[in-house]
Each structure stands twice: as structure tokens, then as C-alpha cells.
Chain A
């Protein structure tokens, strides 16, 4: 499992998990799961286009991810945000279908791009992934305060001169970059499990933003490592372990929050997750805990 040809997989997966944990924290915080889902899926079409004209797949991924993010941002300014996201996504996927129909020898690569392939990572691919990852983490570090403010309290952010629209666009670009680097490793359909499961679990466990972000990184890295190890042992696709593992993380986090809440020791909220009462979802949703820290 730790043979030389696997070292690249471990290194890249770790970087990917760190970035997914950091970016994913804001994805969960802003409730933009759909965007974090749509950008990778749409970017997948970019890889198909890149192979068609014979350039590096990472370039195609980056271009399409950025175009998708900007499209969502611009279309979403007027009209409904989820509609804009859905339409941008299907447009990119439609283009992907068109590109795929132009080539013949792509079918096996598609499966890898959709569901992840860690074993095929060469040493030459590490550097671009590392650079993109650094850019993402640096961007989040620079944007941390205003982004947090505009995620939690857009109005007070606007009052302090933090434009919600501009923050949204900046955030979308970061998601796009994170997507481009993560996609070849865990696959278009499942990056997003890595971006959502761990941060959601982390937020159920702590209400302090910084601690939640650190925890989310730790969970994401552990999830990625466990997934690769299991995938190596069983020869099953990595995506399966990441996807199901992300849901398990979330369930465990919710279960923990409910359990500690019922004991009355949780400082944040009187949570009763899973009790299907007729009352609205206030106690079940993760919002109040985080809003309290704003």
C-alpha cells in the first residue's frame, strides 16, 4: 500500500483533502451545496473538450470550472440562484456530451474522471495540483474575515463595506480552482462529498468557526486516507468510499450533536436531530449554532 507508485496518490489525496476541508467549510457555511456540486460536474465537460483539442486536462478543467462559476455568479444576480446554477450546469454538461460525441477513445477515461482514479497520478501532476491548492488556501486565508461576515450576516457585512455580490463571486472562483485540482483524484461526482460531509460533521461538533475549519480539514484528510486504503485493498472505486464515508461523517456528527444536546451539555443549541416534529427545522438545522458565534 505504501509502495513507491502509491506515494503520489497519498501526497495528492492529502493536499486535496486539506483544500476540500478548508473550502468546504465555507460551502457548508454559505449553504451553497448546489454550486459546489454543479461546478465540478460542469468542469468535467472541460476535460472532455481539452482532450478533443489536445491540451492538458487540467487546463480544460480550470477553464470550464471558472467559466461555470462566473456564469452562475452572473446569471444568479437576477433571478433565482438555484435555477441559474441548474441551467449553467446542464449547459456545460450538454457541451460535454457534444465533445464526447466527437471523440471515440474516451469512454474508459470518463469513468475515471467521474468516479476518481488515484492510482494513475504521475509525479509531474503533483506540482500543478500543489500550486492550485496553495492558491485556494491563500485566497481563503485572505478572504477569511469578510467571507465569514458575509456568509453569516450579509446585512451587517454590507454595512461594513463587504459587498455580498463580490464575495459570492470571489468564493465561486475559489470553489472553481479547488474543483480543478480535486477532480482528477476523487472524480467529478464525488469531490463534493469530500467538500460537504467533513465540514458538516465538524460544524455539528463545534460552533467556533476556526475550530470547525480545523476539524473539517482533519476529518477530510482521514476520510481521504481511509478511502484510498480501502480502495487499494478492495479494488473498488475511491468514489464509493468517499461518497458513503461523507454521509457517514455527517450522520455521526448529527448523532453526536443530538446526543450531547439531549444531555444538555452542548453550549450551542438544544438539538433534537431526527425527531420529526411538526415544528419547523430550527433545532435540526446547523444554522442557529453558528449564527450565535457571529
Chain B
């Protein structure tokens, strides 16, 4: 068949209202070509969805932008990324350091309270020098050993 014959058949298939006096074999050839083109377009268009992974059986598919009831804003990609959470080890170190710092700050105050109430010497974890006990409030402290005013 010539190209003109085929073009005529193609026109007849593309526009059924056109001339119907086209040989059957030409019409079928044109129809087959159009079906092939149609199938090829569908195959090629499937690649538009290829990056989306198919979910495993029983696992719900993640929501895609086009599945959401409202279209996503176009500025989504420009939004800043959320901060990454601190790594557990780093977070634990920070927590320990904070605890040590708070303990160190509170220790002097806590020690004074204990000394006043109990009148007992305070040591620094048993390693520091033992200081003289502080007298209760209202009682003057003992003078030094060489103070003459005390003897008189």
C-alpha cells in the first residue's frame, strides 16, 4: 500500500465521520498503529509514578501530595528543614554536666545550713581539713589562745 492509501485510512480512523470506503486491511493497519501508540503512551506515562515506591503488603502507602484533599503549597520545598534532634550520647553528656553544675552551686549553701543547725564540722568529702565548730547564734566565738583580754 502507498503512503497516500495509509493516510486516507488513518484519516478514516481518526475521524469516523469521514470517508468509509477505505479498504478493511488499511483501516485495520491504521487502527493497530493507533492502538500501539496509545499503549506506548500509557507505558511511558507510567514512569511519571516510578519514583514512588510501592508499599509492602499490609503497610499503608504514605500520603503523597496529590492524594491530600488540598493541594500542598508550592513553597513547601523552600521551607527550612526541621532541626535534627540531639544525638542521645550528646544529650546524656549535657544532662550530666548540668546535674554536676547544679550540685556544685547548691553544695555551699547546703553545707552552711547543716553547720548552723548541727554545729558539726564540715569536711569536703572527708579529705579537707577539719575546721573549728561554729558556735550557735548569739554566743561569741572563742578568742585566740594568746588574747590577753580574755585572761584578764
Is the A/B pair a real complex? no
